[in-house]
Amino acid sequence: MAYVKVGSSRSASATLTYGEYKDGVKREGVIISSVNCDAGLAKTEFKAVREAWGKVDGVQIHTIVQSFEAGTDPKLVNRCGAELAQRIAPNHQAVIYTHTDGEGGKPHNHIMINAVSLDGEKLRSSKFLYRARDLSNEISLEHGLPIIEQERNPAKIRYTQAEQAIVTRENGVTSWKDNIRTAVDDVARRSEN
């Protein structure tokens, strides 16, 4: 079951270093692959692309952590990470570090994607987490791995006492706040930014 979380950083160099080193010591048993770059030269290559397009300020790198069940083959985990990088950020450079450290020895990927593509476009981070989860699930299913079904909006709606009284007193009646919630959810689903 692949669990996914995303992040970003203003320091590509430090983020890439974390993939191979922990507390200044080289990690044992790390599987490394790359997309559109040489993993050993990723710091230099990522920086060269950002500089070539004049996009050196702000976010330099986007990250995805993709964690699988203990016992999943780390080589398969790394392949899934490379596929995810290719699908979520085509034409971007990416390095995939697969670790099996941590609690229970669960294999997990640290997918590090250059914020600027080879053709100079910044990676769109709008709804990045949802896209990453959907693609990760798709790739997991293609490889026969289980997935986690996740709610789109896990935040629980909290009703005031007045709203609860209206709803229970007049069965089937919605409050004016519910109408606003529905309108906002509808616009958010259609929004691009």
Residues 162-193: pLDDT tens digits? 776 666 666 666 667 777 877 887 787 777 76
Which residue's entry shows tokens 């986007």? 62
Task: Calculate mean pLDDT across residues 144-173.
Answer: 67
* Residue 60 confidence (pLDDT) above 90: yes
1: pLDDT strictly greater than 70: no
**Which has more confidence, 4 or 186?**
4
pLDDT over 70 for what percent of the chain? 85
pLDDT of residue 156 exceeding 70, the answer is no
Residue 175: CB atoms within 10 A of its CB come to: 16
Beta-carbon-side half-sphere exposure of residue 66 (alpha carbons within 13 Å): 35
Residue pair 105/153 in contact (Cβ under 8 Å)? The answer is: no
C-alpha span between 140 and 136 (Å, rounded): 6
Q: What is the pLDDT of residue 159?
A: 67
Average confidence (pLDDT) over 70-89: 96
Residues 6+ apart with CB under 8 A from 191: none
Mean pLDDT for the chain overall: 88
CA nearest to 133, candidates 150, 153, 108 = 150
pLDDT on residue 172: 61
**What are the counts of helices (DSSP H) followed by strands (DSSP E) for the chain?**
6, 7
> For residue 100, how many C-alpha atoms fall within 13 Å in the half-sphere facing its CB?
15
**85-138 residue pLDDT tens:** 999 999 999 999 999 977 678 899 999 999 999 999 999 888 899 999 999 999
Residue 20 in tokens: 């191979």
pLDDT at 154: 52
- CB burial string 118-140: b at 16+ within 10 A, e below: beeeebeeeebeebbbbbbbebb
The answer to whether 42 and 93 are in contact (CB under 8 A) is yes
Q: Which of 4-8, 146-150, 183-187 has the highest mean pLDDT?
A: 4-8
Residue with tokens 């964690």: 67
pLDDT at 151 over 60: no
The pLDDT value recorded for residue 145 is: 92
